[in-house]
Amino acid sequence: MADKKRFLNKNKYMLTGSFKRNGYDWWWHSFTGFNKKTGESRQFFIEYFFINPGRSPDKCVFGQLKGEHPSYFMMKAGAWGQGGCQLHNFYPTKQVKINRKKDFSFQAGKCFYSENHISGHVAVSAQTAKTHPEFMSDAGEMSWNLTVDKVTPFNVGYGTSWLFRALKAFEMYWHAQGVKTLYSGTVTLNGVEYAVIPDTCFGYADKNWGKDYTSPWIWLSSCNLTSNITRGKLHNTCFDIGGGKPRVFGIPLDRRVLVYLNYEGKKIEFNFSHFWVKSKVMFRFAEGDDLLHWTVSSENKEYLLDIDAYCRRSDTIFVNYESPKGRKDFDRLWNGGNAYGNMKLFRKKGKMLEIIEDAQFMNCGCEYGEFKTDFS
């Protein structure tokens, strides 16, 4: 509970100073719901997204359409799997009512965000999706009303400290207030109603902000793990992996990834900014004909953690964003919520390794992409 309260200031609105006219800030939520009639499970995502609010507060500007810097609040919502979609509605930032006090919250139309409650509605007609490619949206309709309990936070460390935030040192910041998050309520997607239940939602919540994105961009996270050793559920275990190629004061730090594991209440980190623990992280991503494959191997002075994750291509979408400068740098930013795989945790004992855990995971959030220019 102490960590939850201590890190809340990192989950607030960050578009101050130069980021007002050259920056983005978003709050991401993903979870599992169950069809109220059939019981079938479905993975959903919801994202509240600001970009360049100081440039055009009175009207929405789309960078790709006019070759300008974009400016708007975007409400993104959707689902993965068969019939997966991402739906976007837009509001001028002046229409967003922001409460910047201790109990931070904001509202745009019917869409509301706070630390313990999210609700909203998005609708995009087939005609709108077809005639407005700048909306980067599919057609459909989704509404939600959910209570939120962010149980397990991950503080990435110095990178999001007050000083580095004030200096605008990083091009992309990350804070995960809810590596394990309990959601409760309902979601309706294209007329089908789903129940979201805390014990089976396998939820996640984080935020990103800055003035550009990272390439490559990698993310993996799950809180639904079962031990292959005991055959029991690991109710208090979750992991979160994120990063790629961060830039600090414009200098790229090649292939730097942060790895966090909460293993039954014990926090284990592989963090390049914690130089004294000598962390190393290696990762690879491969596209197969049917499966996407992530491999991440992490070690520090005390532990070794290996994660293999897979996701069916048919269970993913190419998630869409434009940058603060108005570019759509990603054409193939793979994004899903149905990844699965294996996690192995070892303790180092001299030159030997002692296995602590061997576990299967499911309902894993996953992402990978590289800028289009990286292929040229």
Q: What is the DSSP string of 165-216?
A: HHTT-BSEEEEEEEEEEEEEEEEEETTEEEEE-GGG--EEEEEEEESS--SS
What 3-state DSSP class applies to 372?
A: helix
Nearest residue to 302 via CA among 347, 250, 242, 255: 347
Give the burial string for 100-122 (b: 16+ CB within 10 Å, else e): eeeebbbbbeebbbebeebbbbb
Return all residues near 235 (Cβ < 8 A) that are at least 6 apart: none
Beta strand pairing call for 203-210 and 217-222:
unpaired
Residue with tokens 């057609």: 139
SS3 content of the chain, % helix, strand, coil (to 5): 15, 55, 30
Per-residue pLDDT of the chain (376 residues; tens, 9 = 90+): 457 778 889 999 999 999 999 999 999 999 999 999 999 999 999 999 999 999 999 999 999 877 789 999 999 999 999 999 999 999 999 999 999 888 999 999 999 999 999 999 999 999 999 999 999 999 999 999 999 999 999 999 878 887 778 888 889 999 999 999 999 999 999 999 999 999 999 999 999 999 999 999 999 999 999 999 999 999 999 999 999 887 887 877 777 899 999 999 999 999 876 666 678 999 999 999 999 999 999 999 999 999 999 999 999 999 999 999 999 999 999 999 999 999 999 999 988 999 999 999 999 999 999 998 754 3
Q: Are 111 and 48 in contact (CB under 8 A)?
A: yes
Query: What backbone torsions phi and psi does residue 190 show, to the nearest 5 degrees?
Result: 50, 45
d(CA 107, CA 112): 4
Residue 102 has what pLDDT? 81
Q: Are 359 and 227 in contact (CB under 8 A)?
A: yes
Residue 99 has what pLDDT? 95
DSSP annotation of 328 reads -
Element (H, E) at 129: helix 126-131
The one-letter amino acid at 215: S
Residue 376 has what pLDDT? 38
DSSP annotation of 266 reads E
Query: What backbone torsions phi and psi does residue 4 show, to the nearest 5 degrees?
Result: -55, -45
Element (H, E) at 85: strand 85-91
Residue 275 has what pLDDT? 63
Task: Give the global pTM.
Answer: 0.95
